[in-house]
Amino acid sequence: MKTNIKNSCLNLKGLKSGDEVYFSGIIYTARDQAHKRLVDDIGKGKKAPFDIEGSVVYYCGPTKATKVRVIGSCGPTTSSRMDLFTPILLKKGLRAMIGKGRRSREVVKAIRKYKAVYFLAPAGCGALVSKCVKKAEPVAYSDLGPEQILRLEVENLPLIVAIDRNGRSIYG
Amino acid sequence: MKIINAGKITKVVADLCIKANCFLRPDVLAKIKSACKKETQKKPKKALELIIKNAKIAASEKIAICQDTGLPIVFIEIGQDVKIAGDLKKAIEAGILQGYKSGNFRESIVRDPLMRSRPSYRGAVIHTEIVKGSRIKVTLMPKGFGCENKSFLKMFLPTAGVKEIKEFVIESVKSAGPDACPPYVVGVGIGGGAEYASLLAKKALLKRGLSPREASGIVTDLERDLLNRINKLKIGPMGLGGKFTCLSVNIETYPTHIAGLPVAVNISCHALRSATKIL
């Protein structure tokens, strides 16, 4: 199945693991240290720097933007390193995640519980993915350098549904 | 005695940073293209096509192949008849700084592994070797950490055999699974001490050609057999299955102690990057 989804009306209901989709909309980059901070902040009752409810997070730390490029190479990083933090974000309403590789049992369980989706982006294809990014704005944690949170506007980002809202995974 | 200015080494290292990060090694690209041709399943074939397309975009636009521009690892062979005028370590570090800055690569290095302060370009691993002759050979390998995290070392009993080594290598790849950007190139170091086996495993990734060498022998047979067996795991690009989990298995060996048999595995993602220059 090939479908186009926009997260202004993010409807994940029809998606099944293995489906290929093209995604257009807003995603937030966050990887290791940003996850640690987000979850720390949530634990302390602080407000997250972006509205996690309904959002899509992309596990990515890009190379630098230039005068002619809004973002550098920006493929996905290994998702499992975020597993420890993910269930907490899902509980806060995180709608979807984009990354590469397997997830822990706890994450799969949380995905099913909160009806979220985990997508794979083309792994090791950062130059190609950069072509789908139309706009990139810093949101928070600029002191983390490449690990800061960016708000990306993407168009036709090629994804594969790895774990659907019922917890079915392409990795079995 | 031949004299080489440290400044020249800075320039060479800076150029190698761009070359390695933006232009996929021709031997690696050839392997991926051949895999793409042979793959019959739709999804893994498409994933391989994207990898080829990505390499094309990176080269034509001089953008990094992968956002993880790696931990810069420098292998430098210095001929014993060469004198370097200036500070070699500083020259290499300056070259990396220049190259990574001009390439707009990612600042992926934390100065202190425990404090994890703001990442920068400062900090490269440098392996120096004194060799015969009057040349300097510089190789830069930007090693991504998605795959570096899947490295293993095992100290076998000296009575262990090839069978145990095979199982260990296959288990290592299984444990990496789809997480570290397959199809992989698997470097294996056998022998030396613990640190040297690890270095050999990494150096094995530098072998050009990446095809089982023609001459047969225990090492070549081992490489070939491991390649076949790893591909039977059917992990495939992005974990989508198919014929290609591994592009090549490269083994380096070295003498070791009668009491042991160190074996190290260093996995590379499909974006195996390195560039070399001889001065």
How do the pLDDT tens digits run along chain B, 279 residues long? 899 999 999 999 999 999 999 999 999 999 999 999 999 999 999 999 999 999 999 999 999 999 999 999 999 999 999 999 999 999 999 999 999 999 999 999 999 999 888 999 999 999 999 999 999 999 999 999 999 999 999 999 999 999 999 999 999 999 999 999 999 999 999 999 999 999 999 999 998 765 555 566 899 999 999 999 999 999 999 999 999 999 999 999 999 999 999 999 999 999 999 999 999
A33: nearest CA partner in chain B? B116
pLDDT range class, residue A3, cuts 50, 70, 90? low
pTM of the model: 0.94
Nearest to B67 among A60, A66, A170 (CB): A60
Residue B57 lies in a domain: no
Residue B161 lies in a domain: yes
Q: B138 Cβ partners below 8 Å, 6+ apart?
A: B9, B12, B13, B16, B74, B75, B76, B276, B277, B278, B279
As a whole number, the mean pLDDT across chain A is 93
Domains and CATH numbers, chain A: 2-9+22-163 (3.20.130.10)
Interchain CB contact of A157 with B (< 8 Å): no
B146: nearest CA partner in chain A? A78
Residue B51 lies in a domain: no
What ipTM is given for this predicted complex? Answer: 0.93
Give how many domains chain B has, as a whole number. Answer: 2
B59: nearest CA partner in chain A? A127
Partner B, chain A 89-118, Cβ-Cβ below 8 Å: 100-102
Q: Are residues B215 and B265 located together in one domain of the fold?
A: yes
Residue B42 lies in a domain: no
Helix axes B26-38, B42-61, angle to 10 degrees: 150
Residue B194 lies in a domain: yes
Tell me whether residue A35 is one of the annotated catalytic residues.
yes
Last residue of a domain, one of B119, B143, B167: B143
Q: Which domain holds residue B249?
A: 145-272
Nearest to B63 among A20, A127, A143 (CB): A127
Phi, psi angle pair for A23, to nearest 5°: -105, 135
Name the catalytic one among A31, A35, A95, A103.
A35
Parallel/antiparallel/unpaired status of strands A149-163 and A20-29: antiparallel
Distance CA(B243)–CA(B41), nearest Å, equals: 8
Distances in Å between the Cα of A86 and the Cα atoms of A161, B185, B214 are 17, 30, 49
Residue B40, min C-alpha distance to chain A (Å): 17
Q: Are residues B263 and B166 located together in one domain of the fold?
A: yes
Nearest to A128 among B50, B146, B181 (CB): B50
Residue B43 lies in a domain: no
